[in-house]
Structure 1
Amino acid sequence: MWLSLREWTGRFAHFGISAILAVEECDMGALPKPMTIDEFLAWEERQELRHEYDGIQTYAMTGGTLAHAAIQINLTSALSRHLEGKPFRPFGSELKIRTQAGIRYPDAFVTCTEGDLNATIAPDPVVIFEILSKSTAWQDLGVKTIEYRDMPSVRRYVVLQQTHRAAEVFYRTEEGEWVGEFAGADSVLAMPEIGIALPLSEFYRGLALP
């Protein structure tokens, strides 16, 4: 059974995610004028750490856990193997993507658009992956879900758990609605947008997780 975005966020009220939906409707007139995306990119070049930007606030990209790193390696390796010979290219978190609101560094994503080899922003992601952690859950399951939904090229967004083998999967239906599903440990993750289907267990290979 699929759920609309507003129904889906109700499942994660303990992360404070339900409040995220109010951001789309609030009046920002009283707040200081935020940086433009171009101003942010110029600012980031002067920083030692990479940063994400949601159009209002910047967030430093710091180190993660061993589980996060292992899942990310499994994820990018599996995508590379299964997409070989197809007109799609997977990338890890080294590259930025540009949303309508700001700049993000997804843990992995797939694009079918060739870009400039010197570019630091990848064009037109089709499927995006994030690996959930407690400190970023409110973004990954809240504001990023809205940002990625609003990108015309994005057809699917997968949020992988790092404490157990499961995922929250958001995708665009043929009618254009953005809906969510839960994928359990034994699920096969169908991604018709890029022509593959992968057992969720591939992303957790070598990890003793429930």
Structure 2
Amino acid sequence: MSTAEDRTMSMSVKQYLASELERDTKHEFIDGCIYAMAGASINHERISGNIFGELRNHLKGSPCEPLASDMKVKVIDNFYYPDVLVDCNFDSTTPYYTETPVIIVEVLSRSTRRLDETKKLVEYLNIPTLQEYVLIEQDVADVTVYRKSDDWRCVHYFLGDLITFESINLTLAVEEIYYRVENQDVIEYFAVKEPENNPQS
């Protein structure tokens, strides 16, 4: 989900949370101002859906649960809508946002890249519970993972690689994240892979 460039009036946290319940369009709350969330592309939705589905299947019966893009994350007094997150200790007294994610996933777009890779990166990595921050490209096949256990160094993963999400003990193939996604990297990867799996082709 991308953030529209237009900024509207400033308000308090209390005003923002109350107004967000009444709005048809989601807004992020950043440094006292609200920013409307724009629509997402089909590739963005496929990537978000793929990783959410894999997390949900893996975490069944676990105290941890994946939450999709309607759940806000509170960082100090800012509120963001990550594409996917995992929370293992959700506080039911704040049903519209969480302060305790262990994984946050953002699917990059041209309108959100700068925010996701700068301000959000700094703020997310200071969440005490966070263990992994994941940035997924949609126009090429490239997944970047920052891990607390590795001093927040970034590691890139590409088609053919496996990613281990240490905080929830899940290993996932990059190609599962890009299932049905249409970009040149994915098209070329499967064009080569499919004949290899079919000796009669």
Residues of 2 paired with 1:69 and 1:123: CA distance?
Answer: 24
Percent identity of the aligned residues? 27
Q: Which has the larger radius of gyration?
A: 2
Following superposition of structure 1 onto structure 2, how do residues 41-80 of structure 1 map, counting pairs within 5 Å? 41-80=17-56
1:121-164 CA-to-partner distances (Å, cap 9, x unmatched) read: 13410000000001110011111101101111111100101112
In the TM superposition, residue 43 of structure 1 has moved relative to its aligned partner by 3.5
Distance change >3 Å, CA 48–CA 188, structure 1 → 2? same
Aligned position for 2:78: 102
Residues of 2 paired with 1:47 and 1:84: CA distance?
Answer: 32
In the TM superposition, residue 103 of structure 1 has moved relative to its aligned partner by 0.3
Ranges in structure 1 where 5+ consecutive residues have no aligned partner: 1-33
Aligned position for 1:186: 160
Structure 1 residue identity aligned to 2:42: L
Give the aligned length: 176
- What is the alpha-carbon root mean square deviation over aligned residues? 2.1
Whether the 8 Å CA contact 2:65–2:86 is kept in 1: the answer is yes
Whether the 8 Å CA contact 2:75–2:99 is kept in 1: the answer is no
Ranges in structure 2 where 5+ consecutive residues have no aligned partner: 1-9, 186-201
1:151 pairs with 2:132: no
Aligned position for 1:21: none
Larger RCO, structure (CA 8 Å, separation 6 or more): 1
SS at match of 1:163: coil
Residues of 2 paired with 1:101 and 1:77: CA distance?
Answer: 30
Distance change >3 Å, CA 94–CA 117, structure 1 → 2? farther
Residues of 1 paired with 2:94 and 2:75: CA distance?
Answer: 20
Larger strand share, 1 or 2: 2
Aligned position for 2:65: 89
Structure 2 residue identity aligned to 1:161: E
In the TM superposition, residue 202 of structure 1 has moved relative to its aligned partner by 0.9
SS at match of 1:178: coil
Residues of 2 paired with 1:113 and 1:88: CA distance?
Answer: 7
